[in-house]
């Protein structure tokens, strides 16, 4: 069965510093992988996704993530944090062989220090 | 373009009362539909998903149920709410595995 693990329920970085949010997955075959962002009291919106091809995926707001099959990871990074990046971030996985079901990680709350 | 509507935005209900949350999708046909719950300090828990009218898969046993009476309508229900049902409920549909979410319903059971 597929699953997603996000290490660190809360990450705090200084404005301008590197953002690194970790995500590891468990799946029988390389799945589709996603990062979503959620602002307070709102639904989730897609930051980026990996389906096939290039393993480094670029998303909105300067975020990117790299699919590493050998490490079963899909960590999210941003070179320089901005105050507006403060939100909750969710990693998600969907198996290629499944007709549906998207499984989300437990989320990481990102705080930005001035 | 496709849009997803979810209502109400907030709801306060007493323990033991019934629940009905509605979600509708516009601009697409035969979408895969989902209900997730986000409890305070926890991630998104998949409750139900549906690949077609009348087809409901339940992920977690509980006192909630879901129905899909029409192609683009997904309803989350309960006959008797528990305190533990409090949380933020999100409806979503998917295209090419990408999920599109409604704005959510904040349910407080008192």
Name which of A54, A50, A58 is nearest A27 in CA terms: A50
In the block, which residue shows the tokens 């990062």? A35
- φ, ψ at B79 (rounded to 5°): -85, -35
Query: Could you tell me the end-to-end alpha-carbon distance of chain B, in angstroms, rounded to an integer?
Result: 38
Which of B109, B35, B26 has the alpha carbon at shortest distance from B66? B35
Q: How far is B103 from chain A (nearest CA, A)?
A: 4
Mean of the per-residue pLDDT values for chain B? 90
Q: Would an 8 Å CB–CB cutoff place A108 in contact with chain B? A: no
**Confidence check: pLDDT of A99 > 70:** no
User: Which has the closest alpha carbon to A92: A52, A49, A29, A58?
Assistant: A49
Mean pLDDT across B62-72: 93
Residues of A in contact with B6 (CB under 8 A): 43
Given B41, B46, B103, which is nearest A103 (Cβ)? B46
- Report how far residue B104's alpha carbon sits from residue B91's, in angstroms, rounded to the nearest whole number: 7
Average pLDDT rounded to a whole number, residues B31-35: 92
Could you tell me the pLDDT band of residue B60, with boundaries at 50, 70 and 90?
Answer: confident
Q: Does B102 touch chain A (CB under 8 A)?
A: yes
The pLDDT of residue A20 is above 80: yes
d(CA B89, CA B74): 13
CA distance B104 to chain A (A): 6
Split at pLDDT 50, 70, 90, the class of B108 is very high
**B1, pLDDT greater than 80:** no
Say if the Cβ atoms of A102 and B106 lie within 8 Å: no
Q: Is residue A104 within 8 angstroms of chain B, CB to CB?
A: yes
* Tens of pLDDT, residues A44-87: 899 999 988 899 999 999 999 999 999 999 999 999 999 999 99
Task: Evaluate whether A92 touches A47 at the Cβ level (below 8 Å).
Answer: no
Mean pLDDT across A95-104:
73
Question: What residue in A sits closest to B43 (Cα-Cα)?
Answer: A106
Give chain A's mean pLDDT.
Answer: 91
């Amino acid at each position: 069965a597929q699953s997603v693990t996000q290490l660190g329920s809360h990450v705090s970085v200084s404005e301008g510093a590197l953002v690194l949010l970790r995500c590891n997955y468990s799946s029988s075959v390389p799945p589709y992988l996603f990062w979503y962002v959620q602002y307070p009291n709102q639904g989730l919106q897609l930051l980026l996704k990996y389906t096939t091809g290039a393993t480094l995926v670029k998303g909105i707001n300067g975020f990117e993530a790299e699919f590493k099959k050998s490490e079963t990871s899909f960590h999210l990074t941003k070179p320089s944090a901005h105050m507006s990046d403060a939100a909750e971030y969710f990693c998600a996985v969907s198996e290629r062989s499944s007709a549906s079901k998207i499984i989300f990680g437990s989320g990481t709350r990102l705080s930005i220090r001035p | 373009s496709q849009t997803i509507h979810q209502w109400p935005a907030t709801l306060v209900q007493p323990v033991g009362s019934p629940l009905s949350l509605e979600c509708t999708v516009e601009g697409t046909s035969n979408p895969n539909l989902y209900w997730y719950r986000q409890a305070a300090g926890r991630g998104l828990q998949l409750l139900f998903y549906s690949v077609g009218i009348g087809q409901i898969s339940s992920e977690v046993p509980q006192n909630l149920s879901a129905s899909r009476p029409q192609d683009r309508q997904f309803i989350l229900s309960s006959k008797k709410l528990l305190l533990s049902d409090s949380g933020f409920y999100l409806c979503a549909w998917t295209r090419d595995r990408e999920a599109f979410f409604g704005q959510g319903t904040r349910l407080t059971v008192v």
